Chains A and B, each alone.
Chain A
Amino acid sequence: MVWITPSEWAVITLSLHVAFWAALLNLPLALAAAWVLVRRDFWGKALLSAILHLPLVLPPVVTGFGLLLIFGKTALLGQLIEGAGLPLAFHPNGAILAAMVMGFPLTLRAVRLGLEAVDPNLETAAASLGDAPWRVFARITLPLMRPSLLAGAVLGFAKSLGEFGATITFVAAIPGLTMTLPSAIYTQLQIPGGEDQVIRLVCLSIAMSFAAIITADWLSARVLRKTGVR
Chain B
Amino acid sequence: MLSVDFTHQYGTKRISAQFQLAQGVCAIYGPSGAGKSTILNAVGGFLRPASGRITMNDRVFLDTQRGIFLPPHKRNLGVVFQDYRLFPHLTVAQNLDYAGKGLNRDIIDMLGLGSLLNRAPHSLSGGEQARVALGRALLCKPNALLLDEPLAALDAGRRAEILPYLEALRDHSPIPILYISHAMDEVARLADQILVLRDGQMVADGRSANLLRDPAMAPYFGVREMGALVIATVTECHPDGLMSLNWGAGPVILPQNGCKTGDRLRLRILAHNIILAKTPLTGLSAQNILPAVVRKIDQGQGPGALITLHCGGTDLLARVTTRAVDQLGLTVGSDCCAIIKATTAARGDVGKIA
List residues of A whose CB falls within 8 A of some B CB: 119, 121-122, 124-133, 136, 139-140, 143-144, 146, 226-229
Contact = CB atoms under 8 A, between A and B. Distances in A.
Contact of B44 (A122, A128, A132, A143): A128
A127 B136 contact: no
Contacts of B77: 128
A144 B137 CA distance: 21
B345 interface: no
A121 B88 contact: no
Interface residues of B, number: 26
A127 B71 contact: yes
B81 A121 contact: yes
Contacts of B81: 121, 124-125
Given A130-B99, A228-B120, A143 B89 contact: yes
A200 to B, nearest CB: 45
B89 A228 contact: yes
A129 B98 contact: yes
A217 to B, nearest CB: 20
29 contacts: A119-B85, A121-B81, A121-B83, A122-B85, A122-B88, A125-B79, A125-B81, A125-B87, A126-B98, A127-B45, A128-B73, A128-B78, A128-B137, A129-B73, A130-B73, A130-B99, A130-B140, A131-B73, A132-B71, A133-B73, A136-B73, A144-B88, A144-B89, A146-B89, A226-B89, A227-B88, A227-B89, A228-B120, A228-B122
Contacts of A146: 89
Contacts of A131: 73
Contacts of A133: 73
Interface string B317-346: 000000000000000000000000000000
A143 B136 CA distance: 19
A105 B334 CA distance: 84
Given A121-B83, A128-B75, 5 more contacts: A129-B140, A133-B73, A139-B98, A144-B89, A227-B89
B85 A125 contact: yes
A124 B121 contact: no
- For A124, A129, A227, which residue has the most chain B Cβ atoms within 10 angstroms? A129
